[in-house]
Structure 1
Amino acid sequence: MKATDADLKKPKQWNALGSFYPAFFLAVFVFIPGTIYARRILDLPTPDAVPRELRADPNFTPRYWVIWVISWAILISPALFLCIFHRSRKFGLGYLLIAGSLGAIAAIAVSLFEYQGFAPS
């Protein structure tokens, strides 16, 4: 099949697989340190590395969880912008799936380490 002039003038769409590297980098190397840094700057409660049953107060305030949700929303916000345009929609959906899931898994893992403690009991 021969390409027509209309086919040659169409802008090339961005590939969803191309979003893997930026999504992975931002979710692992920017999201977690950025959230921990924001918690420290905002003077939010930081849990101890002591196992939960040995702590004086085993519960966290809701402010601890709010900063993770806000950081996760900031992490996926580029995907919402990319999904507006037809040319970058696949890239944005790939970024949303990868960064959203990796960010959620990382936030849960870090929170569990902090909440349950990782020191020997």
Structure 2
Amino acid sequence: MKNNPPLKAIRTFEAAARLSNFREAADELSVTASAVSHQIRQLEDYLQKTLFNRSDRRVSLTSAGEYYFREVSQALTCIDQATDKLRDLQSTRVLKISAAVCLTLADAAFVGVLQRAP
């Protein structure tokens, strides 16, 4: 498996890119703007690419950032959908497994009764 950047940094990048503002991304993620800036810098160092053009209070995506944002957004959507589906499957399967276990136990008890009765 490849060594990918931390998911936290990717989610932070996605929020900052979507909102075009580190402070708004920080508010959405319930972290400080400094933490967002740190995560973005860590991601840029990992990728060895500048993802944002920074000015006093605004940020905009570089061409590399635009590409990465498109790809990352799709990937995060897939992860979110897979997670939701798995949670739904787990709920359904737990119920089915419980029913199967109950039936199996009932069958075993019934066989025991039949063996004791002539």
Structure with the larger helix share = 2
Structure with the larger strand share = 2
TM-score range, shorter chain: 0.3 to 0.5
**Which structure is richer in relative contact order (CA contacts within 8 A, separation 6 or more)?**
1
Q: What TM-score, normalized by structure 1, do the two folds share?
A: 0.33
